[in-house]
């Protein structure tokens, strides 16, 4: 199999369908909602948590069996019914319509895998094994979580503001490049990893002042 093209999808206000109402569908719904998606669910039954989300108008739910008509105006689909025949039909219908579809218990049937991910503010790190070993992906993600703590989110927020200002206000290309590189040099990253945010902020502000902004 050829390599996968990893992307980061903007799901804000996108209609995403989950076929299934069990614990897996529950986790998928929560993840999609975190990305700003408009989540729709079709299943004969749902978990108590999903039911409460329906009652609170957080997700839309159609009680019943999957039908191809459920795919109307959908951007992304997740098959989590727990039934091989239903998931196979979901995949076939989606692929015929060029929709993005993931089948959780048999990713090869769809056209994308869901990597193991975690966030630190605007920093998002994903680990994929191409569907060959989700457990290994999870183990690596857990190791990375221990390496990249909450300070990386704070650092990235500050870095983003300084970078934008420097790009807008420093005209000389070489000077601009030099300053931007100094914001993430080995000394800064070393202090960041050790959690010395006060020193990191001092170094960033020093580089910022050196930009003349």
In a domain? residue 50: yes
Q: What is the largest CA-CA distance in the chain?
A: 64
pLDDT in tens, 65-98: 999 999 999 999 999 999 999 999 999 999 999 9
Whether the model clears a pTM of 0.85, i.e. scores above it, the answer is: no
Q: What is the mean pLDDT of residues 119-130?
A: 89
Question: What average pLDDT is seen over the chain?
Answer: 92
Long-range contacts of 85-89 (CB under 8 A, 24+ apart): 86/19, 87/19
Cα 49 to Cα 16: distance, rounded to the nearest angstrom: 18
How confident is the model at residue 131, as a pLDDT?
Answer: 76
Mean pLDDT of 5-20: 94
The count of structural domains within the chain is 3
- Do 47 and 136 share a domain, yes or no? no
Q: Where are the alpha helices (DSSP H) in 6-120?
A: 23-34, 48-55, 84-96
10 inside domain:
no
For residue 3, being part of any structural domain is answered with no
Write the pLDDT tens digit of every residue in 38-64.
Answer: 999 999 999 999 999 999 999 999 999
* Residue 213, pLDDT above cutoff 80: no
Whether residues 37 and 127 share a domain: the answer is no
Integer Cα distance of 63 and 212 in angstroms = 61
Neighbours of 154 (CB within 10 A): 17
Cβ proximity of 163 and 180 under 8 Å: yes
Q: Residue 2: phi, psi to the nearest 5?
A: -70, 165
CA distances for 19 relative to 83, 166, 187, angstroms: 10, 47, 49
Contact status, residue 11 vs residue 35, Cβ threshold 8 Å: yes
Is position 161 within any domain? yes
More confident residue, 210 or 13: 13
Tokens 């502000």, residue?
205
Q: In which domain, by residue range, is 32 found? A: 15-114
Mean pLDDT, residues 183-192 taken together: 94
Q: What is the mean pLDDT of residues 128-139?
A: 87
Residues 27 and 37 in one domain: yes
What is the bridge-based pairing of β-strands 38-43 and 60-63? parallel
Answer yes or no: is 156 within a domain: yes
Same domain, 40 and 27: yes
Query: 166 and 82: one domain?
Result: no
Residue 91 Cα distances to 4, 41, 101, angstroms: 18, 16, 7
In terms of domains, do 32 and 79 share one? yes
Two tokens at 116? 């193991």
Residue 55: both structure tokens together:
């009652």
> What does the pLDDT read at residue 97?
97
In order of 111, 121, 161, 172, the CA distances from 154 in angstroms are 35, 7, 11, 28
- Based on the domain organization, do 125 and 53 belong to the same domain? no
Same domain, 108 and 119: no
Question: Do 144 and 155 fall into the same domain?
Answer: no
């Amino acid at each position: 199999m050829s390599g996968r093209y990893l992307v980061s999808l903007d799901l804000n206000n996108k209609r995403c369908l989950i076929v299934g109402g069990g614990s897996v569908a529950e986790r998928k719904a929560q993840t999609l909602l975190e990305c700003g998606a408009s989540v729709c669910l079709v299943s004969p039954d749902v978990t108590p948590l999903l039911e409460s989300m329906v009652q609170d108008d957080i997700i839309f739910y159609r009680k019943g069996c999957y039908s191809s008509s459920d795919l109307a105006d959908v951007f992304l689909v997740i098959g989590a019914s727990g039934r091989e025949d239903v998931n196979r039909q979901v995949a076939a219908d989606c692929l015929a319509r060029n929709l993005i579809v993931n089948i959780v218990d048999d990713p090869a049937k769809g056209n994308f895998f869901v990597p193991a991910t975690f966030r630190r503010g605007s920093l998002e790190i994903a680990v994929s094994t191409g569907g060959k070993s989700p457990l290994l992906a999870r183990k690596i993600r857990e190791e990375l979580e221990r390496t990249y703590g909450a300070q990386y989110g704070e650092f990235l927020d500050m870095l983003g503001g300084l970078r934008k200002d420097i790009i807008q206000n420093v005209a000389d290309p070489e000077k601009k490049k030099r300053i931007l590189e100094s914001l993430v040099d080995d000394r800064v990253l070393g202090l960041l990893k050790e959690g010395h945010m006060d020193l990191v902020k001092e170094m960033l502000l020093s580089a910022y002042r050196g930009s003349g902004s």
